[in-house]
Amino acid sequence: MNPRELVGRTLGHKFLLEAMIGRGGFGAVYRASQLPLGRMVAVKVNLHLRHGALRTRFVREARVLSELRHPGCVMLLDFGEEPDGLFYMVQEYVFGRSLGRILAAEGTVCPERATGITAQILDALQAAHQRGIIHRDIKPGNVMLAERVDGRSR
C-alpha cells in the first residue's frame, strides 16, 4: 500500500488523515484532525500487518505507550483497527521541529543547549526504563523540540 493513498481517509470514524508527515519502520505518521473536535493529532499507521511479528510489536508498543506518562514523552490518545485490518495509534501532536531538522539547518547547537536537550532526553528515557520500556530507535529525527512555554523538549 502506498502510504500517501491514506491521506483523506478517516480512521475510527473520527481521525481524518490530512498529510503524511513521516515514515518509519512500522509504517507512516500522519497529521490528522480529530472529528468533531478539530483537535490536531498525530496518527501512526502500521502498513505491514501482513507480517505477524510486526503486528504483534505494534500492538505491544501501543499497550506500553498507554502506560507511559512523562512530560518529555508523547502521550498515546487512542488505538484502533480498521475493518480492512489497518492498525493505527493516535498520539498528541507535537508542534515544533525534530532535532534532526534543527541540526540539518543549523549544523550544530551550542554546548549549553545540547546539554539541556540531552538532559531532557535522558530524563524521559529513565522514566521509560523504569517501566521496562526500551526505545530502540533514539536518533535526532525522533527527538522533537516542542514549542512550549516551559521550553522542554519532547
Give the pLDDT confidence score for residue 27 in this predicted structure: 84
CA distances from 143 to 47, 78, 122, 140 (A): 23, 21, 11, 5
Q: Report helix, strand or coil for 54.
A: helix
Amino acid at 38: G
Q: Is the model's pTM score more than 0.85?
A: no
Backbone angles phi, psi at 20, to 5 degrees: -80, 130
Q: Look up residue 43 and give its three cell numbers.
A: 496518527
57: in domain: yes
pLDDT digits (tens, 9 = 90+) for 8-47: 999 999 999 999 998 877 789 999 999 989 999 999 998 7
101 and 75 within one domain? no
Domain count along the chain: 2
Output DSSP code: residue 72: T
Would you please indicate which residues are annotated as catalytic (active-site) residues? 137
Residues 81 and 124 in one domain: no
